[in-house]
Chain A
Amino acid sequence: MAAVSTPTDRTGAPDDKRRAGRRKATKKSDRIAYLYLLPAFVLFGIFLLFPLIHGFWISLYQWDGLSASTWVGLRNYGEAFSDPGLRSAFVHSLVLIVFYALIPVSLALLLTAVMSRARHTKGLGFFRVVLFLPQVVASVVVATIWTAIYAPQGVLNDFLSAIGLHAITKPWLGDFTWALPAVGLIGTWVEIGLCLVLFLAGVSQIPRELFEAARIDGAGAIREFFTVTLPGLRPQIAVALTLSVVAGLKSFDLIYVATRGGPGTQTSVPAFEVYHRAFDVGQVGSACAIGILLTLLILIATVVINRVDPGESR
């Protein structure tokens, strides 16, 4: 990249020889670099690229997974867009992004502001472990635990009754209004620890002097957060958003275990639809089309989010 903008371009001859030599060297080291990348690329090709292309290929067919298939071109994609059930599945996953990404990132930022000021609090490590724990537990276990919590006679309703809020108890995962937020909150619970650990690590990388300078200038906790902490955390926020938005978009296991898309189709999401169509109802072509669309959506989301981080685009 540097070669293009060096001033020698304009001044001409004297540097040409040196540049040519350097170019040769770059070329050689480039080739060696590619060689190092080759094993990774072969693995990527076999396990990701080929299945992806194959998946796209199948998405052009109407296929039940067993008998002969029929070529339908892009019809599966057309149907994906015109199917109101599927459209609402995509809307549901947008709602889940709020719960999986926006709320955890905001809450984690708040917690970071508090915890980074109280750096010497005893037992900080303990809190970090507790908050990070949901990330480590298998999501099927997480879903099973929360299903029990949300059950009509589960812990949550017992608790609400005990504090005199019996009127608002309900079968959370079976309620048409509350099922999706209820599943979303499980996601919030899972993702918040990851965000917090990232942010706490990020804060420790911000030069101490910046905080001291802010304090000398008379900044309070809030001012300090917005002028020093938040800008300093931009790379970590980008990473946290990328990971959690992707997690929200591809959420499958929580839905599969907790609600199977119910009640009705109130919590169906694209990733669940992919599985459901491919393995339950024998619409493999349609499942692949949704999978490809979901992949595209995740790619776009990732690219957009990474604009947040100036370090990446510079």
Chain B
Amino acid sequence: MRNWRHETGRRVALAGVALALAAVAACAPGASNSKPDAKSTGAISTDVAKAGKVTLTEWDINTSGGADTATTQLNKEFEQKYPNVTIKRVARTLNDLKATLKLALSSKNPPDVVQANQGYPDMGAFVKANLLLPLDNYAKVYGWNNTFPKQLLALNKFSSDGKKWQTGNLYGVSQTGEIVGIYYNKKLLKQVGLPLPKTFSEFEADLPKIKAKGQLPIQFGTGDKSPAIHLFGVAQAAIAGKQEVRDMVASSGSAKWTDASTVQSAQVVSDWAKKGYLTAGANGLTGDEASANFGKGQGVFRIDGTWRLAELDQAMGSNVGFMSPPPMKAGQPSATEGGEGLAWSITSKTKHADVAGAYLNFITDAHAEDVLAKTGNLPAVQPPSYTPKAGSLNADIFAAWKTISQEDGLTPYLDYTTPTFYDTITSNLQQLIGGKLDPKAFTKALQADAGAFKQSN
């Protein structure tokens, strides 16, 4: 009796499991979406007022500081200009947005406008899954092709299958620019008696001199993993040159991560760590902590992005300066990692594409850039109406951005290379800096990741 009941129970359970399996089996995960069509030029309406009552849901990463102020202000101005439009804003930190955006985009009711990160991991994956709307016709109507430098537009382009980056359709526009450069402590630099380095070798030669004077040459921490990319990126852009780095990241051309120039760049970073030019224990110090230390006057140089503008300006005032990384030879244009803020994109399932297009134009036009500059951001295109205070960090950063943009010196962030590259490069850089990996083995690990992706793509 007991056995029988037990058996039945088991059979029922098995049947239940089988049934449930069959139910989920009916649909393989990730049903494919149909390809969104680029709207033909004639169909675009730029007249937002005529669109009727519209609620536009917008997801961004501008949770704090000047970026938040600018977004709030621009949204309010847009609503004032078009009273028929209500903007529903959802602001999340970059990490939170990256983690939730995929689920939101693949849901039945995605937001209308989202900020998508460039490169293969995010934008490429979204395009591949047909979740973003091609914006080429909006670019034509609103003249984005003329207002934005070609190079910046290219960062937001993908082939429609999401496999080739920086070419094909336009999938977003960016508000702000950003580059990685060298912040320096003016007082300390004077104290150790050194002028600003004009070449990369001069910069390298300064490091032992600074150490000999008892100062820390480069304030640096990468406990949170990502900052090491920028340190390595600066060395690589100088040594390997912009074209080679661009080819490697876009996996075009024949450049390999194991090429001599990249091995040499890794050697430079490894030497800096070994010789004590970087903060001791950099692997256990987060980027924020290192930045705070630099603000407190520890370290002569700090390699970091322009996104630290407001923070370091507040901490150090007129004592901090910024320069783009010096080139290999004096007088050459410099090249550095950088790009633009996350692209503002329109989702393919939106019901208000034209209103969203007008919104994108509104938050990136000349007036918007003026608002961004005044609220402590670095606009992608410098507004003619704004001049930063001479001698301020703001002025240094605006000037460096202008030169780099004009001289076509941007190299893409290295983690754009493959969906897994962030992981590979950050953990391997920690090992390189910690002395656990030699430069050859380090570059081999990078090439293995990039090679596998190229093969499967």
Interface bin, chain A = 35 or more
Q: Is A202 an interface residue when CB atoms closer than 8 A count as contact?
A: no
Q: How far is the CA of A119 from the CA of B286 in the complex (A)?
A: 45
CA distance A189 to B106 in the complex (A): 41
A173 to B102, CA, bound (A): 31
Chain A residues within 8 Å of B404, by CB: none
B234-291 contacts to A (CB < 8 Å): 279-286, 289
Q: Which residues of B contact A61 (CB under 8 A)?
A: 28-30
Stretch among B126-134, B175-183, B375-383 lining the A interface? B126-134
Complex Cα spacing A305 to B129, Å = 46
With A66-B128, A263-B430: A281-B121 Cβ-Cβ less than 8 Å = yes
Is B146's beta carbon under 8 Å from chain A? no
Please tell me which stretch of B68-76, B328-336, B389-397, B420-428 contacts chain A, meaning at least 4 of its Cβ atoms lie within 8 angstroms of it.
B420-428
- Min distance, Cβ B379 to any Cβ of chain A, angstroms: 30
Cα separation A118 to B27 with both chains bound (whole Å): 63
Select the stretch in A52-60, A215-223, A241-249 that faces chain B: A52-60
Whether, in the assembled complex, A235 has its beta carbon less than 8 Å from a beta carbon of chain B, the answer is: no
With a cutoff of 8 Å between Cβ atoms, the chain B residues found around residue A283 in the complex are: 420
Stretch from B18-26, B166-174, B299-307, B353-361 at the A interface: B18-26
Contact across chains for B224 and A63 when beta carbons are under 8 A apart = no
Partner-contacting stretch, out of A67-75, A129-137, A203-211: A67-75
B interface residues, how many (CB within 8 angstroms): 50
Contacts of A264 in B (CB 8 A): 427-428, 430-431, 434, 436-437
A152 at the interface (CB under 8 A from B): yes
- How many Cβ-Cβ contacts under 8 Å join chain A to chain B? 140
Task: Determine if A57 and B285 form an interchain contact, defined as CB atoms under 8 angstroms apart.
Answer: no
B40 at the binding interface (Cβ < 8 Å): no
What B residues does A181 contact at CB under 8 A? none
Task: Give Cα distance in the complex from A125 to B431, angstroms.
Answer: 47
| A151 interface residue per 8 A CB criterion | yes
Q: Is the CB of A171 within 8 A of B423?
A: no
- Whether A262 contacts B225 by the Cβ 8 Å rule is yes
CB pair A262–B29 under 8 Å, yes or no, is: no
Q: Which of A23, A53, A179, A259 contacts B21 (CB 8 A)?
A: A53
Q: Give, as a whole number of angstroms, the nearest-CB distance from B453 to chain A.
A: 11
A58 contacts across to B, CB distance below 8 A: 29
Query: Contact: A174 with B28, CB < 8 Å?
Result: no
Q: Which residues of chain A come closer than 8 Å to B293, judged between CB atoms?
A: 153
Interface of chain A residues 265 through 313 with chain B (CB within 8 A): 265, 276, 279-285
Question: For residue A250, which residues in chain B have a CB less than 8 angstroms away from its CB?
Answer: none
Tell me if A100 counts as interface (CB < 8 A to partner B): no
Q: Assess whether A172 is interfacial by the CB under 8 Å rule.
A: yes
A-B residue pairs in contact (CB < 8 Å), sample of 15: A1-B2, A3-B2, A49-B20, A53-B21, A54-B24, A64-B419, A65-B125, A66-B105, A151-B289, A152-B280, A174-B223, A174-B281, A176-B434, A262-B225, A263-B430
The chain A residues found within 8 Å of chain B, CB to CB, are: 1, 3-4, 23, 49-50, 53-54, 57-58, 61, 63-69, 71, 147, 150-153, 170-176, 179, 259-265, 276, 279-285
17 more contacts with CB within 8 A, not counting A53-B20, A53-B21, are: A3-B2, A64-B128, A66-B106, A67-B32, A69-B29, A147-B223, A171-B282, A171-B284, A172-B284, A174-B284, A174-B434, A262-B225, A262-B427, A263-B431, A263-B434, A265-B427, A280-B423
